[in-house]
Amino acid sequence: MSVSDDLKEKLRQLAPDLVPVLDQPDAGAKLMEILPKKYTPVQAAGGEELKTWDTSGLFLQSTGRYHEALAVHWGHYRHLLSGQSGSTRIHKGFPLVRISDCFRSIGFPVHTKRYLMLTLCEDAIQGKGTVSPQTTGVYFRLVWGGLNDLELHRYAHELYELAQKMPEEALFPEALLQRLDDDWITEFPSQNEASFYLTNPNYVHHLIAKLGDGSGEALELIAEYLMSCMAGCRTRRRLRSGSTDYDVVCAMEGFDIDFRSELGRHFVCECKDWKTPADFSVMAKFCRVLDSTKSRFGILFSKKGISGEGRKKDAALEQLKIFQDRGIIIVVLNLDDLKKVAGGTNLIALLRREYEEVRLDLRGSV
């Protein structure tokens, strides 16, 4: 009996009503209609209900339908997230490690590692800072994948300490991973991975709800998180030079096949969580920052966008002049753009469009 036959038989014992769905050409889509209605998040977190959801995805993996399996496991993860509230968390390690396995199968090394680290976040909390090779599958996946034993245990300890200090943020493993060092990132994106983009909408909306608190940190976290989800983009937040504070610094690794090859090795993101649009002075100052770092590209995350009403010194006109005079392109992303990305818009495609609008002066064209 094949692996797929074994999994189908297992599912027949757990939920016989799902078996007829498995061999249908749109099985992934149909499973994602059925499973969230069939089980509550609490049910889907353990017992036979968890096994049912997990086995459904594993069956699709066993038959080589990795993208459908990815959708099923991703839906499982989102469903568990939706059941969390306050500081009450649900363990989400199972779907996260399956997501990583799917990415490995389709040749996405950066995403494979990222979702293993997100799994480590969950397992470190559950294990109170320890991760045992006897009790969790993430250990051998990470160690056999190149992360040494000492580093893994150091990360597990740091993640648990972070979760204790910030229990609300610890509901999202992405929030914990953002606060670790980035030494675990050792992979370069594959060619097929370059245009793929996936974010956790629940986490992005969680951060959007914190905008306007006066600290500016929420927008910086959003900016860093959205950029870090781009395979090959290494990010660091709140850095300081001798003369300048950098909100988010990005380093591109492994890209030479699309518009990102023109961005240069490093670029900077500036964040303005203001009640009004960023004005001429913000654009001019950001240009000087980019100029001082010899960067050809920068992203201005401004909640209300930029001023642009035809005045000689509005930010939109300055944005165009900066490119014409200095060859520096500044892309602006506002709150609507952030919501679009949270809703599934590919940030890479969005940046490409904004990049071309500035470079080719396409704004206002038909």
Residue 310: CB partners within 8 Å, gap ≥ 6? 317
For 176, the token pair is: 């914990």
In the beta sheet, which residues pair with residue 306? 278
Q: Which residues of the chain have pLDDT under 70?
A: 255-257, 309-313, 363-366
Residue 67: CB partners within 8 Å, gap ≥ 6? 28, 102, 106
pLDDT score for 196: 95
Question: What is the rounded distance in angstroms from the CA atom of residue 123 to the CA atom of residue 328?
Answer: 44
Which CATH code, of 3.20.20.370, 3.40.1350.10, 3.20.20.70, 3.40.50.150, is assigned to 204-359? 3.40.1350.10
pLDDT score for 262: 75
Give the DSSP per-residue string, 125-136.
HHTTT---TTT-
Rounded to 5°, angle at Cα 131 from 128 and 134: 130
Q: What is the pTM of this model?
A: 0.94
The domain limits of the chain are: 3-186, 204-359
Q: What are phi and psi of 181, to 5 degrees?
A: -70, 170
pLDDT score for 95: 97
Host H or E run for residue 269: strand 266-272
pLDDT score for 355: 93
Kindly report the number of other CB atoms within 10 A of residue 33's CB atom.
12
For 225, the token pair is: 């998180």
pLDDT score for 366: 41
